[in-house]
Structure 1
Amino acid sequence: MVSIQAGATFAKQLFPVLGPQATTFLRVWISALLLLAIYQPWKHKFSKKSLTAVALYGFSLGAMNLLFYLALERIPLGVAVALEFTGPLAVAMFASKKLLDLVWAFVAACGIVLILPHSDFSQSIDVVGVLLALGAGAFWGLYIIFGKKLGHHIKGGTATAMGMLAAAITVSPTSIPQLRLTEYSGQIWLMALAVAVFSSALPYSLEMIALRRIPSKTFGVLMSLEPAVAALMGFVFLGEVLTGTQILAILCVIVASCGSALTGRQVDPPVQP
């Protein structure tokens, strides 16, 4: 989680120079090239069904990354991650189908309502940023669903590499017009590489090690802390100070996610790409 959110802080620092679309392009393409070099999917044969599964998985992954960075340009990191977390939270609740999950849904909804601007708020928040973050959450939920289906066709790192390539192709049409590759300094390229490594390559590896050593329910509970980690990283590295209401909203999402992980049936934990 620290790795993922550190990558997000690096990405946000690139926005004034590159913009969110170009930053997304560099992150996803560098990640895709690294994964392709490691797993070499061209050595395998793929059926039409498996390629369709890759396309759906990659589209949801690319759209999620792009919408999240567009949201991150407008709202604080901790708030963006809390809103985005509603996607996997919804998937977990629908999978569980327990009456208690209505309680967690209500708590999460309270968090969203608290984040939205009201006349009595001491500090308003960008509504477009909120909607973009919720859109990213919706695609995160689809990423989990399509990722599970992809796992039936292609296994392990090969699926991830193929999906990341599809994600890179997905974000290219809207991102390429924003690129100025010849104008980027060596420092910009190093930061883009750091975003790709810290947001994708390193956390993927750590998550796979963790999942082999701890139960998936424990993993899910720990993942519930992601919005808090994001808020802390945003404060330390970006100087983003949240209002008391925004902190309360983030806590609502954390409680809802943790409660769902503890009381729901065992399902695949939401891994953030």
Structure 2
Amino acid sequence: MTSAPPTPRSTSSGTAVAMVLGAAASVQVGATAASALFPLTGAAGAATLRLLLAALVMVLAVRPRVLRWTRRQLLLSAAFGAVLAAMNTAFYAALTHIPLGVAVTCEFLGPLTLAAVLTRRRRELVWVVLALAGVVVLGLGGDGEGGALEPAGVALALLAGACWAGYVLLSARVGAAVPGQGGLAAASVVAGALVLPLGAATAGADLLHPRALLLGLAAALMSSVLPYSLELVALRRLPERTFGVLLSLEPAIAALVGWLLLSQGLPATSVLAIAVVVLASAGATAGAARGRVPADAQLPTHARPLDG
């Protein structure tokens, strides 16, 4: 007996799921492009190129009319940009110390904790405790090469996670204050300008090297333009709860991309720890959707950070 052909609705949903997973993979591939910049420009230089080129693409696409904005709109966008700059710089710095999958897993604690806290439901804190347990196990698992995880790398990834939580909160406020994507475009410019002095001091003229520019552009496109476009279409076809749970797979996808493209193997204990964090993230997202919390409390359905 043959199965019935898929209905147009199921086909549409299946395509949307593939788009979300493709977007998550694209973000992590963008991170590998950025990490390839490290020997040439360092982490700060990579963040500089990533943010400036992303800002250029965003401004050309959106063309925000900042001269017509109110003082509040300008201040919110500037704060948004500062958080964006700190998040990207901390994350890329973390990648110089720890594997990609580990960095993304630690970073996820930021929006996960935010989602649990803003639900105002005590049982949602269970997901945070579960995720913390996963990160502890992750630390015990080491770096996959017989050594311990570098504390500096873990600390930087956790800092990036805290900034991601701030990004989620500010994303909702900027989105409400500034129409369209103008606030994000302006914030990208601010972020690039804030990181530029550090990137120029550490990388100098290497920022203008053709290979550096090419890799920086690849990181900008793969980590923001492509995934944002895919997710925008997918959100029209999927419930927000499903979308958020799919994004919760990102630590696992990051570990897979790190293994395939960067030869970053992880011990079995670390793989288990990542699975625990993915479970906690999915649980928090589903719980947030059931509780009908504000948009800025949902992980990370309404806010895609521009890091890798």
Task: Give 2:169's aligned amino acid.
Answer: I
- Amino acid aligned to 2:76: A
Mark the structure with the bigger radius of gyration: 2
1:113 Cα deviation (Å)?
Answer: 1.2
Deviation of the 1:183 alpha carbon: 7.4
Shift of the 182–11 alpha-carbon distance from structure 1 to 2, 3 Å rule, reads closer
User: Contact 2:206/2:212 (CA < 8 Å) preserved in 1?
Assistant: no
Q: Which residue of 2 aligns with 1:195?
A: 219
Q: Identity across aligned pairs (percent)?
A: 38
Residue in structure 2 matched with residue 24 of structure 1 by the alignment: 47
Instruction: Give the TM-score normalised by structure 2.
Output: 0.84
Amino acid at match of 1:221: V
Q: Does 2:251 align with 1:231?
A: no
CA distance in 1 between counterparts of 2:186 and 2:224 reads 14
Q: Which residue is equivalent to 2:4?
A: none
Return the alpha-carbon distance in structure 2 between the equivalents of residues 80 and 23 of structure 1.
16
Cα distance, 1:114 vs. partner?
1.4
Superposed CA offset, 1:224-243 (max 9, x none): 10000000000000000011
3-state SS in 2 of match to 1:220: helix
Shift of 1:115: 2.4
Q: Structure 1 pair 127/117, CA: closer, same or farther in 2 (3 Å)? A: farther
Superposition pairs of residues 97-246 of structure 1, within 5 angstroms:
97-117=120-140, 123-181=147-205, 185-246=209-270
CA positional deviation for 1:93: 0.6
Residue by residue over 1:230-260, the C-alpha shift from the partner in whole angstroms, topping out at 9 and shown as x without a partner, is 0000000000001122112211210110111
- Structure 1 residues 149 and 47, CA, compared in 2 at 3 Å: closer, same or farther? same
TM-score computed with the length of structure 1 as normaliser: 0.94
2:113 counterpart of 1:80 = no
2:65 to 31, 36, 42: 42
When the two structures are aligned, how many residues end up with a matched partner? Answer: 272
Does structure 2 conserve the Cα–Cα contact (< 8 Å) formed by 1:20 and 1:69? yes
The structural deviation recorded for 1:272 is: 2.6
- Aligned partners of 1:10 and 1:271: how far apart in 2? 18
Q: Alpha-carbon deviation of 1:179?
A: 2.6
Matched residue type, 2:105: A
CA positional deviation for 1:187: 2.8
Q: Which residue of 1 aligns with 2:304?
A: 271
- In the alignment, structure 2 segments of 5+ residues that lack a partner are 1-23
Once the two structures are TM-superposed, the CA of residue 102 in structure 1 deviates from its matched residue by: 2.1
Output the CA distance in 2 between the equivalents of 1:210 and 1:65: 25
Instruction: Quote how far apart the aligned CAs of 1:19 are.
Output: 0.6
Query: Which amino acid in structure 1 is aligned with residue 160 of structure 2?
Result: A
Unpaired runs of 5+ in structure 1? none
Aligned-partner SS, 1:247: helix
CA contact (8 A) 1:77 1:234 kept: yes
| Aligned-residue CA RMSD (Å) | 1.8
Which deviates more, 130-139 or 87-96?
87-96
Large movers: runs of 4+ above 6 Å: none
Q: Which deviates more, 89-98 or 23-32?
A: 89-98
Task: Provide the C-alpha distance between the structure 2 equivalents of 1:216 and 1:181, rounded to a whole number of angstroms.
Answer: 44
> 3-state DSSP class of the match of 1:262?
helix
